[in-house]
Amino acid sequence: MRRLCFLFVLLAGLVAAPLSAAPIVIKFSHVVAENTPKGQMANKFKELIDQRLAGKVVVEVYPNSQLFGDNKVLQAMLLGDVQMAAPALSKFESFTRSLQLFDLPFLFKDMAAVERFQKSEAGQKLLNSMKKKGLTGLGYIHNGMKQLSSSNAIRVPADAAGQKFRIMTSDVLAAQFKAVKATPLKKPFSEVFTLLQTKAIDGQENTWSNIFSKKFFEVQPYITESNHGLLDYMVVTSTEFWMDLPDDLRGEVKKALDEAITFGNQVAAQKGVDDRQKIIDSGRSKVITLSAEERAQWVEVMKPVWKEFEHEIGKDLIDAAYNSNNM
């Protein structure tokens, strides 16, 4: 009888085994510090998943290019080595040309216009622009407008001529700097501080939170408050991984991600103000504000870049994005 009981317990254990299957692991890789809009968003996503899907899904966040830099992460995603990332919209060029839209200089007048466009039908459609290449966009997350930092004081386009600027991997950004007769260099984010510190380059463009959290302001005596372009992100996953998730879990994961993005966007808005002030208070970097006339010079010199890329991006898409300024 005891032997029969033992066999019964053993069989019951075997039948129950699939119920305690290992949780699905979502490795979320990014390149920025944890105390940034994207870093906070990723941590919030992990927190929500831990609360709601404990034992079923586990999120592992890898900040500061610990797992992959932005130049490798998308290939790694297609190979199944990482499940989520949120590269800057400038870094998808080899997967789609449409997202180059977001790099056009002076396209959006403020973040409210960016938000309106991203929520519009045209903006939402872009989330699927890499589906055929195996990537699905799950949402946008803001960082903010970019500023120009340099080892020299820059007020007008002529001041930037002849200088070397680090850019993200985007031909539009390259054209933008060539338009002011500067030299653009495509380099990974993880190398920017050293390039600036060793004076291998003169400057770079980035948001207040990245300039602050990566200490660029400590090695760049001038920051021109140009607000000339956008740095936002797309949270992406591999289409295969996403579609393989059980329907109910996929819904829960998406809900948690949407909430984390809303939180990250609040952080972005606040950091745009706070980190700017911290940089000013540090006294390490002088913030140059432009007069309307100086700003108009930048617009005039950089705006022809729109025409240059119109055939790749599409005039309708550019018009839709531009019109979001006037709603």
Site residues (vs ligand SIN, CB under 6 A): 31-32, 38, 88, 143, 168, 189, 206, 210, 231
Rounded distance between C-alpha atoms, residue 177 and residue 154, angstroms: 13
Residue number with CB closer to ligand SIN (37 or 157): 37
Q: How far is the CB of 232 from ligand SIN (least distance, A)?
A: 9
| Between 96 and 206, CB nearer to ligand SIN | 206
b (16+ CB within 10 A) / e for 83-99: bbbbbbbbbbbebbbbb
Question: Using the 8-state DSSP alphabet, how is residue 32 labeled?
Answer: S
DSSP string, 193-236: HHHHHTTSSSEEEE-HHHHHHTTGGGS-SEEEEEEEEEEEEEEE
Least distance to ligand SIN, CB of residue 195, Å: 12
Strands 84-85 and 222-238: antiparallel
Q: What is the nearest approach in angstroms of ligand SIN to the Cβ of residue 284? A: 19
CB of 225 to ligand SIN, least distance (A): 17
Taking the C-alpha atoms of residue 103 and residue 170, their distance in angstroms, rounded to an integer, is 8
What does the alpha-carbon distance between residue 232 and residue 310 come to, in Å, rounded to a whole number? Answer: 21
Which residue, 102 or 189, has its beta carbon nearer to ligand SIN?
189
For residue 22, give the 3-state DSSP assignment: coil
Q: How far is the CB of 206 from ligand SIN (least distance, A)?
A: 5
Q: Alpha-carbon Rg of the chain, whole angstroms?
A: 23
Nearest approach in angstroms of CB 252 to ligand SIN is: 26
Q: What is the smallest separation between the CB atom of 190 and ligand SIN, expressed in angstroms?
A: 9
The residue (of 29 and 324) whose beta carbon lies closer to ligand SIN is 29
Write out the two tokens for 52.
Answer: 């709601």
Judged by CB, which is closer to ligand SIN: 143, or 238?
A: 143
Tokens of 189: 């984010």
26 vs 168, beta carbon nearer ligand SIN = 168
Q: How far is the CB of 253 from ligand SIN (least distance, A)?
A: 22
CA–centroid distance for 314 within its chain:
22
Q: How far is the CB of 41 from ligand SIN (least distance, A)?
A: 11
What does residue 14 show for φ and ψ, rounded to 5 degrees? -65, -40
Q: Of 201 and 231, which CB lies nearer to ligand SIN in the complex structure?
A: 231
Q: Which is nearer to ligand SIN, 38 or 295 (CB)?
A: 38
Closest alpha carbon to 188 in 95, 82, 91, 93: 91
Q: At what angle do helices 171-178 and 304-313 cross, to 10 degrees?
A: 160
Q: Are 38 and 140 in contact (CB under 8 A)?
A: no
Residue pair 228/106 in contact by the 8 Å Cβ criterion = yes
Residue closest to ligand SIN when measured from CB atoms: 189
Is the Cβ of residue 43 or residue 143 nearer to ligand SIN in the bound state?
A: 143
